[in-house]
Structure 1
């Protein structure tokens, strides 16, 4: 139990304070940086900060759900999805540096909140936990679609990252459904959208 606690705490520290790593090539890395005005660069950076926060939260959600998971196949699927989300974390972190923007100052708060939600979802049972996962990924897909419409058209590097992230999130939602996700009640889906809206609006600036 002590060893497991140390490992889980190590995940928290790595997500919040260590540079994330990727085994895949960063999407768009072969493109040169496009010319952007200061306002365009700042806006692109703020959108990528939101995406980075989303990946911080994803790490916490998957960690919390895996901790309370009862099924080995599901636990393995969660760990695989978390690995892909770590790559997203690395991509958005790198793009923030390129855009000369910082990470959210509230990342520890976002992480702890998402970890608590993940543990809570997991305690409801695997089917409901998968339903929460599937709905989360659908809502992430929707906001990534919005970002593709908001990013400066010439910012092909950021757009490539967001497009690949969207592809991966769609696959994660499909995996959750395949493993037996239950459809969440409308009230739960609405609450999740409202919480997500609060997070994205805050992370744009802070």
Structure 2
């Protein structure tokens, strides 16, 4: 019988580094079909295209942060079931990342130049959350996903009316984020103390302001 290979700290470091590079500089592949694949690509004027691209760049950054957050949390999660839940959610976030990148290309735009910075900060938060225990780990998932769900709602309201393709992408993303939060709640997420959600919203607002343009 072949023994299962135990991954050393170096193995884990190299795997995490590869994941970071693929997320921030690579071209992740979605496992599910592109939600806007059959939606007409209606021509937008220059201002509408620039605005839509800014919003989709924010959403792309959000998915970069989600990849980092889940990766950091999974690295220190104690319970195998928690790690599995984080892995399942991360795969759907990979779909989101690929969809947002594709929509940015369709809008003749690009991801944020600060993606490595966003990734590093989110990974650190994920590690800290995971080290507090799985209940806190899942609590961060719930709060993160609820905040993302709220900003996706806002983006659906302020996208150019003709940008049907971005809307189709965001609707699927919103449904996924809501399900991730529900699953984390049912798995025993702890309610985060009141200062933490506020700090998370403030950090998110800084990210969105910068990512809209850069």
Using structure 1 for the length normalisation, give the TM-score.
Answer: 0.98
Say yes or no: does 1:7 pair with 2:15.
yes
> Rg: which structure is higher?
2
Aligned CA RMSD, in angstroms, stands at 0.7
Say yes or no: does 1:18 pair with 2:29.
no
Aligned residues: 206
Q: Which residue of 2 aligns with 1:66?
A: 74
Say yes or no: does 1:30 pair with 2:24.
no
Aligned pairs for 1:1-206 within 5 A: 1=8, 2-206=10-214
* Cα deviation digits, residues 143-187 of structure 1 (max 9, x gap): 000000010111110000000000000000001101100111121
**1:122 positional shift:** 0.5
| SS of residue in 2 equivalent to 1:131 | helix
Query: 2:86 & 2:31 partners in 1: Cα distance?
Result: 18
Query: 2:73 & 2:31 partners in 1: Cα distance?
Result: 24
Extract structure 1 runs of 4+ deviating beyond 2 A: none
Q: Which runs of 5+ in 1 are unaligned?
A: none
Q: Which runs of 5+ in 2 are unaligned?
A: 1-7
**1:8 positional shift:** 1.3
Query: 1:155 & 1:29 partners in 2: Cα distance?
Result: 13
* Cα deviation digits, residues 101-121 of structure 1 (max 9, x gap): 111000000000000000000
Query: 2:200 & 2:17 partners in 1: Cα distance?
Result: 26
